[in-house]
Structure 1
Amino acid sequence: MKKRNRLSIAALLAFLLSACSFSLAEDITPPPGLQQQVVESSPVPVSTEALFPLVAPDPENGAAIYAQSCAPCHGETGLGDGSQAAELPNPPAPLGDLEFARSSSPAEWYTMVTRGNLDRFMPPFNSLTDSQRWDVVAYSFSLSAPPEAMAEAGELFQANCASCHGEDGSGTQDGSDLTDLEQSAAQTSEDFYQIISQGLDSMPGFEDELSDAERWSLADFTRALGFASSARMVAQVTPTPSETGEAVEEPGAVTPEVEAAQEITSGIIRGQMVNQTGEDLPDDLVVTLHAFDSMQLAGTYTTTISADESFTFENIEMSAGRIFVASTEYNGAMYGSDIVTVEEGVDEVSISIPIFGTSADTSVLTVDRLHLFFDFSIPETVQIIELYLISNPTDRTVVASEEGGSVLTFDLPEGATNLQFQDSVLGERYIETPEGFGDTEVVPPGMGQHQVLFAYEMPYERGIDYQKEFDLPISDVVVLLPEIVVKFKSDMLDDAGSRVIEG
């Protein structure tokens, strides 16, 4: 008989106020339909002065991460119009809005990605490495500063700033290093605009020499100089020898290497399935290729595998710096390749997609963290939201024991009604069971990648005794509830403090 874990919580009504302070919780994904009535208050300040990356963030690497993890809410162009935005109680931040981006610093956005933002019901992304978080921050800033605008700003920089700060912004004896994110990660474009306009220490102001639009353009460019793409931006606008009066070869006298690089306009992506299933893959298995160029989604292509489980994409543009990611769906699971970046002069790229064998043994799965939200905004009712972050530490994808069956099952407390899901409904991904519901989605290998988020309602008068049993071992349980509205008791949980949330 399977051993089950029990959690017991008692919540008693204290008194109702419109302002709510919530018990501290992290790694939280926006719960469906959650609404809290709160009054304005000052959030707990979080210092970002000491936050900076050890290596220059690369927005091109961040493009693929953004497409997978951020675009569903924030939208492809960062205007808050993603496919899941309508499901959120508050609109996602408009990262691609120029005014919004100018008021934010890289350190602030890095903090949001790392810790989440409960004010906006944004989850943290602790599954990303430190460098990946900085990369996606760099890409997010690029959404409001397209390459054309950066090229024009680069010309302004060369004409007005390079003599002191260097052509690449790395500084000279007369000017500071603008690429040093240890000094600038906490600065916004608004901060740089003020310095450019008014000057700082020995640096003169340019309020009389440059228009307002030109100073803002320079501020955006300066903020981006610490990113890896800044070298490419500067290279595009650095004066050529003819512009500086130096000797230059006659037109057409280019070196063979440069001419060859210019001739490469298309190439081939050769891929291979790394088949760990122990069985042949179907001949019609579809592979999808996503291309990212200049930090934007440049194209999507599809093909099928060959008899030897290889695949080929032909006549694909191979511009230097372009990023490719390939993926496929097999037996209900998505599998993807590593990110591949095209180098200068390359017209053929190799890529591989691992596909794992399957197992119906759910005992190998663990719940890294369970989040419980208690919402008392509906009279005589409590809405309970449960979020599971599940890991599969093995090299096999966990599947249902029978076709069309549940991979995992979740019991609901007696009296639970109005069951809701974040990403599906009963009859699709989720199916009804006698005690609750089952999740039919398979669980591929990976740590903390599988999420299940659902909500339900229970009657509430002056108290509730909440008890649940769980099939999987749980490392941590985090509870979020209005501490002024209710009193909370449990012998199994510790108080982690509180946080004030603004609506």
Structure 2
Amino acid sequence: MTQGVGAGEMISVALHVSSLDSLRETQHTFTDSDSRFQFESVGYSPDNLYGLSTIYKGVVYVSDITIESGIAIFSSISVYDTSTDDESIFLSKGSFSITGVDSLNRKISILELATISNNSQLTYVPGSGPMDLIRFGLPEGATNFLFDTLIPAAEYIQVDKGFALVASLTPGTHEIMYSYDLPYNGQEAEVIKSWRYGVENASILYPNGTVNINTNFETKSQDTIGGKA
């Protein structure tokens, strides 16, 4: 535990052991007055994965365990006080990729990546209403929506003109990925993309020769990668 947060409190910590050949095993222990914890009689196998988790003030925290030559390296879990103030939340990176244009079935396939940053020393927890959540826009008519992230216990809900992330964000950076198809009629389609919270660094990837891009921000570089610009 870090920065004195949770110091002296008895907090439950779980050890998770998993492998492809067996069910996941879980052991529990509690922190002591110095916020330390220890697991004993833990079997080791190079085929296993080991990790830690805890819940502090309603937020799930996880940490991997690094093992070298059968010996676990010192492991810790950082926990933080919480805040519902989103002033410290911003997008440090945004990527918008047109991964395919199906002219026969009249649809465009799009993949987006976003790096969400929390530059405070508090874990951001979402508010109770849709307007209190971190929201992302989707083009009208988008279909086949898929969402993925490694943020612990993260979910999403559909909101007007897009979706909202339901997740607690610890200090640092967090990535989300989502994709969708955009049907269109006629010989061409117009896709308007904006980042609700702004973005420090944006990248756009599209098939060269079939897409025209107009932006209202400074373009620092343009490269061609395997037929995509």
Give your verdict on TM over 0.5. Answer: yes
Q: Say whether 1:482 aligns with 2:210.
A: no
SS at match of 1:363: helix
**2:113 touches 2:175 (CA, 8 Å); kept in 1?**
no
Choose the corresponding residue for 1:336, options 54, 59, 63.
Answer: 63
Instruction: Decide whether the 8 Å contact of 1:407 with 1:442 is kept in 2.
Output: no
Q: Is the 8 A contact 1:276 1:355 kept in 2?
A: no
1:407 CA drift (Å): 3.8
Residues 383 and 455 of structure 1 are in contact (CA less than 8 Å); yes or no, is this contact kept in structure 2? yes
- Aligned partner of 1:312 in structure 2 is 38
Which residue in 1 is equivalent to 2:158?
432
1:215-230 mapped onto 2 (5 Å cutoff): none
Secondary structure of 1:311's aligned partner = coil
Larger helix fraction of residues: 1
| Alpha-carbon distance in 2 for matches of 1:369, 1:354 | 24
Residue identity matched to 2:83: S
Whether contact under 8 Å (1:372, 1:386) holds in the other structure is yes
Change (3 A) 1:481 1:387: same
For 2:43 and 2:137, locate their aligned partners in 1 and report how far apart those are by CA, in whole Å. Answer: 51
Question: Which amino acid is 1:443 matched to?
Answer: L
1:421 is aligned, of 129, 135, 146, to 146
1:232-311 equivalence runs, <5 A: 273-274=1-2, 277=5, 285-289=12-16, 301-306=26-31, 308=33, 309-311=35-37
Instruction: Quickly say closer, same or farther: Cα 1:363–1:371, change in 2 above 3 A.
Output: same
2:89 aligns to what?
365
Report the CA distance between 1:403 and its aligned residue.
8.2
Q: Which residue of 2 aligns with 1:114?
A: none
Query: In 2, Cα distance between the equivalents of 1:471 and 1:280?
Result: 41
Measure the CA separation in 2 of the matches of 1:300 and 1:280: 28
Shift of 1:396: 1.7
Instruction: Report the counterpart of residue 7 of structure 1 in structure 2.
Output: none
Determine the C-alpha separation between the residues in 2 that align with 1:358 and 1:393: 13
- How far apart, in 2, do the equivalents of 1:301 and 1:313 lie? 11
**Which residue matches 1:389?**
115
Q: 1:497: Cα distance to partner?
A: 1.9
Map 1:137-148; keep pairs closer than 5 Å: none
Change (3 A) 1:396 1:337: farther
Q: Shift of the alpha carbon at 1:409?
A: 0.9
Percent identity over the alignment is: 16
Q: Find 1:354's aligned residue among 78, 92, 96.
A: 78
Q: 1:278 to 1:454 in 2, by over 3 A?
A: farther
| Distance apart, 1:334 and its partner CA | 2.8
Question: Closer, same or farther in 2 for the Cα pair 1:305/1:405, shift >3 Å?
Answer: farther
Alignment CA distance shift 1:468-1:487 (3 Å): closer
Q: Quote the offset at 1:368 in angstroms.
A: 2.2
Q: Which residue of 2 aligns with 1:122?
A: none
Q: Deviations over 1:314-354 (max 9, x none)?
A: 123589x9x9964214234333267465799xxx9754322
1:326, 1:353 within 8 Å by CA — same for their partners in 2? no
What are structure 1's unaligned runs of at least 5 residues? Answer: 1-272, 293-298
Letter paired with 1:363:
E
Residue 78 of structure 2 aligns to a residue whose secondary structure is strand
- State the 1:451 CA deviation: 2.0
For this pair of structures, how many residues does the alignment match? 213
Q: Please report the TM-score for the alignment, with normalisation by the length of structure 2.
A: 0.71
Question: How many angstroms does 1:280 deviate by?
Answer: 8.1
- Alpha-carbon distance in 2 for matches of 1:418, 1:280: 50
SS class of match (1:335):
strand
Give me the whole-angstrom Cα distance separating, in 1, the residues matched to 2:17 and 2:226.
Answer: 41
SS of the aligned residue for 2:37 comes to: strand
Provide the C-alpha distance between the structure 2 equivalents of 1:391 and 1:402, rounded to a whole number of angstroms: 21
CA 350–278 in structure 1, closer or farther in 2 if over 3 Å, else same: closer
167, 174, 177: which one pairs with 1:441?
167
TM-score, normalization by structure 1: 0.36
1:431 match: secondary structure? strand
Distance 1:351 1:282, change over 3 A: same
Q: CA deviation at 1:498?
A: 0.9
2:101 is aligned to 376
The answer to whether the 8 Å contact 2:148/2:177 transfers is no
- Structure 1 distance, partners of 2:109, 2:155, is 22
Structure 1 residues 141-160: aligned runs within 5 Å: none
Give the AA of the match of 2:119: P
Consecutive unaligned residues of structure 2, counting only runs of 5 or more, are: none
Q: CA deviation at 1:393?
A: 2.5
CA RMSD of aligned residues (A): 4.0
Cα distance in 1 between the residues matched to 2:109 and 2:70:
53
Alpha-carbon distance in 2 for matches of 1:276, 1:396: 13
Q: Is this contact kept in 2: 1:274–1:355, CA < 8 A?
A: yes
Once the two structures are TM-superposed, the CA of residue 441 in structure 1 deviates from its matched residue by 1.9
SS of equivalent to 1:492: coil
